[in-house]
Structure 1
Amino acid sequence: MDAGTAVIARSWRAVATVDGARRYEDHFRVTVLPALRALHGFHIAYLMRRDDDDTVRIHVLTLWESMAAITRFAGDTPRAAVVEPAARAALLSFDETVEHYEAQAMASRSVAETAARAPGTDAP
């Protein structure tokens, strides 16, 4: 990463039924993403899932320019999870706190670039 460039990752996990995971995804797309996009200092959000027998494990990872930006989102206790009532209703359990990590190195490739690569190769 460039000197002076900080990226903070915010990590949160939850567990839901299959139907609850679908409801949480709908909530995330309709409510959470627009709110995040409106915040100065927000970079990107990932909503990930892993099916695990009859439950779904949910992992939300967001990237931010600074802890100040996270505080604008989460309030005075940035380690506290922000879980709105609609999200709570969709989940079986969830972490009450989040973890923050400072990114040390990053690389990316656009989805279009990745799709254009020959299958089974690392060639561009």
Structure 2
Amino acid sequence: MRTWRGWTRPEDAPAYETYLMKTGFAGYTSTPGNLGVHFTRREVDGRAEFFLLSYWESMEAVRAFAGEDPSVAVFYDEDDDFLIDRERTVEHYEVFASA
């Protein structure tokens, strides 16, 4: 499982959500080996927080999406127009149980 967080101003959240669906969601789900994604949003401390979770068959599949260093976050051309803060790296977890 791969996780990432980014933050926008609350008023920019709906537009960023639309943008994410065209860029990140499309990129994740079109990559062979992607097993699913959850894109979430909440407002905390005057900011809109986006938390993305994606599930992958293998680290090779993650590299097909993210590049040679899978710990580096993937960004798109207009992310700078929306994001006021972001994680530059991602975290990976091995899922050992789910329901």
Q: What is the TM-score with the length of structure 2 in the denominator? A: 0.91
Give 1:106's aligned residue: 98
Give 1:121's aligned residue: none
Q: Which AA in structure 2 matches 1:86? A: E
Which protein is bigger by CA-based radius of gyration?
1
Distance in 1, matches of 2:29 and 2:88, equals: 23
**Aligned residue pair count:** 99
Unaligned runs of 5+ in 2: none
Distance in 1, matches of 2:11 and 2:78, equals: 14
Distance in 1, matches of 2:11 and 2:62, equals: 30
Indicate the SS of the match to 2:98: coil
Indicate the SS of the match to 1:81: coil
Q: CA RMSD in A?
A: 1.2
CA contact (8 A) 1:21 1:91 kept: no
- The alpha carbon displacement at 1:75 in A equals 0.4
Give 1:87's aligned residue: 79
Find out whether 1:30 has 2:19 as its counterpart.
no
Distance in 2, matches of 1:88 and 1:11, equals: 19
Find out whether 1:63 has 2:90 as its counterpart.
no
CA contact (8 A) 1:41 1:69 kept: yes
- The alpha carbon displacement at 1:53 in A equals 3.9
Indicate the SS of the match to 2:96: coil
- The alpha carbon displacement at 1:66 in A equals 0.5
